[in-house]
Chains A and B, each alone.
Chain A
Amino acid sequence: MRRWVAFLAVSAVVAGPAIAEQTGAKKRRPLPPEFGRVIINNASEKAGLAPVSFDHWFHRAKYTCRLCHVDIGFAMKAGATGIKAADNQAGFYCGACHNGKLVVDKRKVFESCGKALIGENRAGCLRCHSVGKNVTPMVDFKTFTKDLPVGRFGNGVDWEKAEETGLVKPVDFLEGVSIPRKSFTAQKDFALSPKLQGMPDIIFSHQKHTVWNGCELCHPEIFVGVKKGATKYSMVEIFDGKYCGACHVTVAFPLIDCGRCHARPVQ
């Protein structure tokens, strides 16, 4: 047990910079509140506004990934959705919830891109269009996460445990947007053997993933292979944002938390 933990730690230290060098993505590791932050700037600057700073942590504590990325229609890559103010005003994308009507935790969700907000000085726009602006967030990260189970990396929150223990209850249905569906039986967990000898097997849990993602968020957009075992996943590709990396580089617990996936001790 100790041997493989030490091995994983050494691998992370050695392989991390090497992979970053190969992919040309040597970046400062984000601070916990910054992890999962997406900057959206399709039309903002053209419209004379600052780009939008979107923090996943607050939204993922309330809603499943599937609700936003399937039912509401946000693409999985930053900037790929092409959100416009008119979409939000018509009740799509951010406007599906941020419509000034929906009530969450006894509070009305503010309206996005509403005509009343735009006004003369566009002060209301700063709530989202906040990159480079001195805006105090409505919800403080430290206060919000203080009672949630601690994670080693990413947001410093173990979201999986938070969901399992009921500390967060991500909603998977939005009235008027989602389609009522039966709850389903998840596929069984399975093990994947890594190429590297001595590396613990990866235990992949469909159940843990389907809670947040359903089926269609991952298949086939992220995991396209149809034949079991036919696709070989390399850590270089994963660190580059492919396969598991589509979420585990950006929002879900990061790849440097090796033991979360390489979980079965070598026999």
Chain B
Amino acid sequence: MRRGRSWLLAAVLGAGAAFTVGAAQAVLAQGPAAATQDWKKEFEEICAKTQDAMALPMDELKGLVSRCDKLKPRIEKLDESQRKVYSRRLQVCRDLYQFVIESREKG
């Protein structure tokens, strides 16, 4: 009876450990990919509005500029090819939003 209990306990502990290791591996494997998608998703959300820039309200334009500034350091940490491409792309859309803000303020 006692032996049966210890087997059961060992099986439960083993399954628990296996689950923990598996889950940790899954998190580790997903981590960088999730982080990658995270900056790209933010980039796409920000720069998807360039066509509508002229119609956007001022507070939204200012919000987009500030999101660009916040995203920039993350893009600067990417590998060289990605950094070159996405830094320029981000700059181009940031500059357009800033241009619209200034043209409304001074125009």
Say if the beta carbon of A10 comes within 8 Å of chain B. no
At the interface, is chain A mostly helix, strand, loop or mixed?
loop
A175 CB to nearest chain B CB (Å): 13
Closest to A224 in B: B99
Per a CB cutoff under 8 Å, which of B55, B84, B95 touches A73?
B84
Say if the beta carbon of B34 comes within 8 Å of chain A. no
Say if the beta carbon of A228 comes within 8 Å of chain B. yes
A246 CB to nearest chain B CB (Å): 14
Say if the beta carbon of A20 comes within 8 Å of chain B. no
B63-98 interface with A by 8 A CB criterion:
79-82, 84-86, 88-89, 92-93, 95-96, 98
Inter-subunit contact A216/B106 (CB<8 Å): no
A259 CB to nearest chain B CB (Å): 30
Q: A215-B53, A221-B95 are in contact. Are A180 and B48 (CB under 8 A)?
A: yes
**What interface size band does chain A fall in?**
20 to 34
Inter-subunit contact B88/A75 (CB<8 Å): yes
Inter-subunit contact B92/A216 (CB<8 Å): yes
Interface residues of A (CB under 8 A from B): 70-73, 75, 81-82, 84, 86-87, 90, 92-93, 179-185, 187, 214-217, 219-221, 224, 226-228
13 residue pairs from A and B, CB less than 8 Å apart: A73-B88, A73-B89, A86-B80, A87-B81, A87-B84, A90-B82, A179-B44, A215-B50, A216-B93, A221-B95, A226-B102, A227-B106, A228-B103
